Structure 1
Amino acid sequence: MTRSAGRPRSEDSRRRVLAAARDLLRESGVRAVSMDAVASRAHVSKQTLYRWWGSTSAIVVEAVLDGYEPPVPETVVETGDLRADIASWIERSARSLSDDDVAQGVRALLGAVSSDPVAGREFHDRTLAPARRTIEHLLSADEPSEQTRSARADIAISALLFWVLVDQPVDAGRRDALRDLLTGSGRTGA
């Protein structure tokens, strides 16, 4: 029987660390989240933080995504109407991203993952990849090209993240334009 090195994570300490990181993000933004600040606020040692997370970016990613369950193809209700299904996915995503705490968290995530490949992979695996699979799945009945479905999914995710990053509302006009772009609606022949 092998024994893992180090002490196992204390769930109470983990919760305190994630809450401290979220509080710091909310109060002062991602620049305020340091190992010193999180350790002090969570009443844990910096050694504990480095042993469990390894970087501030990793703490930010876990703090923001803690409890997040992305929509996956198996949980999306399909009506058979591609425009309606895509519009529903966009609406659900926009509603979530319009929450100030969520938007601030997404901006923090984007900043954190830009300089930390490990945190970037975690962000991709937990959020971007499931969103991409869901959009590709919705488009699969209408678009035979896997590359085109993939490019459309990238456009959808990129547009939503860009609007959040630059603090632009995801209003009805933007949602409709994105839906039309993804479904090929509104095209006029030349």
Structure 2
Amino acid sequence: MPRPRSEKARQAVLAAMRRAISAEGYAAVTIEGLAAEADVSKQTIYRWWPSKAAILGEALLEGSIPGGDVRLPVTDDLEADLRAWFSAASVGLGEPESVALARALIAVTATDPDLGAALNARFASPIVEWVVARIAVAKDAGDVRADADAEAIADQFVATASYAALQGRPLTAERVRVTVDLLLRGIATA
């Protein structure tokens, strides 16, 4: 029978993972480094987690991503709402910690489908829900074509923010303007 996890040691490993990602980036994180930082043995880590990605996923599911809890109101100005969302999402991407965590989230999502689904449910679903709700309001107001696929539009939001994170740079005000203008030309009513 495996020994039960020590909650104190588990939290130390998860905190060590968050710090390591911020300081070094996901690729530089090692089990040895995490064990040393958390003051646990490598065997403890290997006994509790099958991979570095599993530690990262658990750390992200229980922790937070700076700027990841962006809540925006729905106003009567679709263009302003979309620009505000992109601007808010982009703010944290100017900070090394935010870039490192966003890149790590993308990496772990790509390597473990189950963990990726849980992480997407936690971090991407609120974005999708906001975009879908915002597009519904715009459709009701007659600003957006009835056939516009709100979930596909939401995917574009996530993809644009993810690409900015992979590049390690925030979306500039000009890039936000161009992206929103292009999107609106594709979905606006005549």
Question: Which TM-score applies when normalising by structure 1?
Answer: 0.78
Identical columns (%)? 29
User: What's the counterpart of residue 165 of structure 1?
Assistant: 166
| Aligned Cα root-mean-square deviation (Å) | 2.8
Structure 2 residue 173 is matched with structure 1 residue 176:
no
1:58–1:118 Cα contact (<8 Å) kept: no
1:16–1:42 Cα contact (<8 Å) kept: yes
* 1:44-59 mapped onto 2 (5 Å cutoff): 44-59=40-55
Structure 2 residue 8 is matched with structure 1 residue 7:
no
SS at match of 2:137: coil
Residue 171 of structure 1 aligns to which amino acid in structure 2? Answer: T
Aligned-pair distance for 1:109?
Answer: 2.1
Give CA-to-partner distance per residue, 1:35-82, whole Å, 9 cap, x none. 33212221123454345443211222343451348548xx53122221
Q: How many pairs are equivalent?
A: 180
Question: Which TM-score applies when normalising by structure 2?
Answer: 0.78
Could you tell me how far apart the structure 2 residues matched to 1:22 and 1:151 are?
31
Residue 64 of structure 2 aligns to which amino acid in structure 1? Answer: G
* 1:3-82 mapped onto 2 (5 Å cutoff): 7=4, 9-10=6-7, 12-64=8-60, 66-68=63-65, 70-71=68-69, 75-82=71-78
Aligned-pair distance for 1:170?
Answer: 0.8
Could you tell me how far apart the structure 2 residues matched to 1:138 and 1:182 are?
14
SS at match of 1:184: helix
Could you tell me how far apart the structure 1 residues matched to 2:87 and 2:183 are?
14
Q: Mind listing any 5+ residue stretches in structure 2 that lack a counterpart?
A: 140-145
Equivalent of 2:91 in 90, 95, 100: 95
Could you tell me how far apart the structure 1 residues matched to 2:25 and 2:178 are?
31
Give CA-to-partner distance per residue, 1:123-175, whole Å, 9 cap, x none. 21111122111111111122444x61111111111011112202233101111
